[in-house]
Structure 1
Amino acid sequence: MRITQARVIVTCPGRNFVTLKIVTDEGVTGVGDATLNGRELAVAAYLTEHVVPALIGRDPARIEDTWQYLYKGAYWRRGPVTMSAIAAVDTALWDIKGKVAGLPVYQLLGGRSREGVTVYGHANAPDTESVLSEISAYVDRGYRAVRVQTGIPGLESTYGVSGGTAFYEPADAAVPTENVWSTAHYLEHVPSVFARVREEFGPTLKLLHDVHHRLTPIEAARLGRSLEPYALTWIEDPVPAELPEGFRLIRQHTTTPIAVGEVFNTIWDCQQLITEQLIDYIRTTVVHAGGITHLRRIFDLAALYHVRSGSHGATDLSPVCMAAALHVDLAIPNFGLQEYMRHTDETDGVFPHSYHFADGYLHPGEEPGLGVDIDEELAGRYPYRPASLPVNRLRDGTMHSW
């Protein structure tokens, strides 16, 4: 069997997605997600101009060799554009291998380690009382874990709060919009939110919160300590992760668990955080960390150091990536949680899939391969629309992490 064609498909059924579809001379196809929120066309060009020509004629069964070929052969390694492109190829090849074997991908990864994949939903609202209703709706649908985000008094906009729409999408304009941030307002407000949530929902519901890289280590330590009475499952991305040593300072001051990694691209980005046990959950993803092959490598390292998975799963990852993530989640021994934000009906139409939600769990389906595809004709009805993520400034105008 040989690869005869690889098509890069850019579509926007509510938001932009980049998909690679690999075709073989025996008619077996595979799909991979290559979406990089706000930089989609950069990955599409990398694939079209540099990767696709190198795939033609290759044996699709040689997944590891192809991964090494694209990684080491590029010389200019790593980075989100390169690794998202490699991820698309790798994921598509696993899809093909599953179809050839007649097995769902999780069976090729060692089979089930659990019956279902525990996912968390996003409860967000402008204020504390409103977010309680959002949490209640998730609990009623069977969710066992909920991420909680609210507006911050004194700030016009806040990361993670959707402004009343059913599907939160932060990439909101062709040219980045500007938000204003106040750490003081944030640190004052957040503990009171979780006090009310625990009062309303009791001690067993898993609660999470995304800080979104906005604090210094000592500020994050203060936040973690203030949230200890409410037993969060994790605080996510408390500080920008360019300085791994900063997490050591947080560890010295709080027992609130830490999750990080959605912006990581390789095992080397998180090696120190894992091996020094500075985090509790690693949130790397199939699409941004080099595909199923490399994500499994990261999770295997994490398992040695009591670090569990918590993969990113926002709507900037297509159903192709979500399906791939679920196969990995089902197989690994150190699974923690999987983020799950449901897609629009338009997106689900473009990407028909067999995974489904039931009783707080996602199930990847039993079809051979990933159990997901792309309807190319329907995708063609949704042309690319420029959309950028916002930027963030402090009140005095200083640029700050968004």
Structure 2
Amino acid sequence: MPKIISAKTIVTCPGRNFVTLKIETGDGVTGLGDATLNGRELAVESYLRDHVVPCLIGRDAHQIEDIWQYLYRGAYWRRGPVTMSAIAAVDMALWDIKGKIAGLPVYQLLGGACRTGVMVYGHANGETIDDTIAAAREYVANGYKAVRLQTGVPGMSDVYGVSKDKLFYEPADSDLPKETVWSTDKYMRVAPELFAAARKALGWEVHLLHDVHHRLTPIEAGRLGKDLEPYRPFWMEDATPAENQAGFRLIRQHTTTPLAVGEIFSSIWDCKQLIEEQLIDYIRATVVHAGGITHLRKIASFADLHGVRTGCHGATDLSPVTMAAALHFDLSIPNFGIQEYMRHTADTDAVFPHAYTFEGGMLHPGEAPGLGVEIDEDAAARFPYKRAYLPVARRLDGSMHDW
């Protein structure tokens, strides 16, 4: 059996912080897993180094499901983003090892390809609606079939999703949390105008998406969804905080706009009611925060029974290891919907050389054995960890709001 003889964490910051787990077997095969939790990276790094790695030594690397169950059930303090991100890192690394031993890309081990490629969407944003439309035109010109639209709101600075760099949006950019100001009223007036302008400029062949980022109450979300219906959005993402899954019933009563949620979910229990009652159309849980490929496949299978498709989170707070794992997963499942794709910086790509490629609006994980991603540890060492927080949001009266 391929016995695990060592495991270590690697923390690097080639433009933003990443936590990587590297597992090695007795015959010299290594596997990589992503353990990045944006703004709380060192909590997961400690969880792995101090509590998980000692439990891995001597185990059979082929026993992926058993090790997953051991780390989940054996910890007693289950779930949560720190625990599940740590488990995900182990899971990814073990799938990587299994693929390398088999000489096959991971998607082949998951049952083979269900499609020729994975449709992705890019992020078009700007300070004004015209700026956003111009950015969207560039994505369409580069072959994208789907584009997320975010725009600045008059009277508000630092609006979510709007960045100075059009390709490498990274909101975790300050040593202490930056405080932003939010007005639901102002936002609700601008969002429909953005979509009206986008349909007029881009036509109906391109899919248009939008991220509300948990900013609205259920009834406000229902109103916005209804306002956007004439423009046929691909989805309205994270319309309201999903801790109360039943809140999505109210949204469903008021709009036929497709709903997507789940990038901060850590297990199937966070979305069980949403999927069971068909309150959403896309589940956005991601490999790194939802327990790895092993657990995400369970979520996808459950979603498939209820007509819900996947739309995994894929912002730059996930390393190329997670992006590769997501692509192998996406390629292999029947109910894939779409994959978020934000390009990493050149420094990140140099630290994490990878086999996945983009062409014609789609990504493909490539045919390299395993996940198809490696880590240049010398390059990683040149980019030490730098503390960075996500922003917080306050309403106009100074009270806290969901960022």
TM more than 0.5 = yes
1:356 aligns with 2:353: no
Q: How far 1:166 sits from its partner (Å)?
A: 3.9
CA RMSD of aligned residues (A): 0.6
CA distance in structure 2 between the aligned counterparts of 1:165 and 1:172, rounded to whole angstroms:
15
The secondary structure found in structure 1 opposite 2:254 is coil
Residues 39-83 of structure 1 deviation map (CA, whole Å, 9 limit, x = unaligned): 000000000000000000000000000000000000000000000
1:342 aligned partner: 343
The secondary structure found in structure 2 opposite 1:252 is helix
1:242 aligned partner: 243
Q: How far 1:204 sits from its partner (Å)?
A: 1.8
Aligned letter for 1:268?
W
1:159 aligned partner: 160
1:279 aligned partner: 280
CA distance in structure 2 between the aligned counterparts of 1:101 and 1:222, rounded to whole angstroms:
52
1:115 aligns with 2:105: no
1:268 aligned partner: 269
CA distance in structure 2 between the aligned counterparts of 1:34 and 1:296, rounded to whole angstroms:
18
The two structures have a TM-score, normalised by structure 1, of: 0.99
Q: How does 1:3-402 map to 2 (within 5 A)?
A: 3-164=4-165, 166-402=167-403
Aligned letter for 2:150?
Q
Aligned letter for 1:316?
D
CA distance in structure 2 between the aligned counterparts of 1:173 and 1:398, rounded to whole angstroms:
21
- 2:286–2:312 CA contact under 8 A, matched in 1: yes
Q: Which runs of 5+ in 1 are unaligned?
A: none
CA distance in structure 1 between the aligned counterparts of 2:166 and 2:325, rounded to whole angstroms:
27
Q: How far 1:164 sits from its partner (Å)?
A: 4.1
Residues 229-271 of structure 1 deviation map (CA, whole Å, 9 limit, x = unaligned): 0000000000001111110000000000000000000001100
Aligned letter for 1:390?
P
What percent of counterpart residues are identical?
68
CA distance in structure 2 between the aligned counterparts of 1:134 and 1:9, rounded to whole angstroms:
35
Residues 170-194 of structure 1 deviation map (CA, whole Å, 9 limit, x = unaligned): 0011110100000000001110110
Residues 128-183 of structure 1 deviation map (CA, whole Å, 9 limit, x = unaligned): 11111100100011000000000011101200000345411000111101000000
List 4+ stretches of structure 1 deviating above 2 A.
163-166
Residues 86-145 of structure 1 deviation map (CA, whole Å, 9 limit, x = unaligned): 000000000000011111000000001000000000000000111111001000110000
Bigger mean CA deviation after superposition, 163-172 or 345-354: 163-172
Aligned length: 402
The secondary structure found in structure 2 opposite 1:10 is strand
CA distance in structure 2 between the aligned counterparts of 1:16 and 1:165, rounded to whole angstroms:
20
- 1:146–1:206 CA contact under 8 A, matched in 2: yes
CA distance in structure 2 between the aligned counterparts of 1:10 and 1:235, rounded to whole angstroms:
34
Q: How far 1:377 sits from its partner (Å)?
A: 1.0
The secondary structure found in structure 2 opposite 1:185 is helix
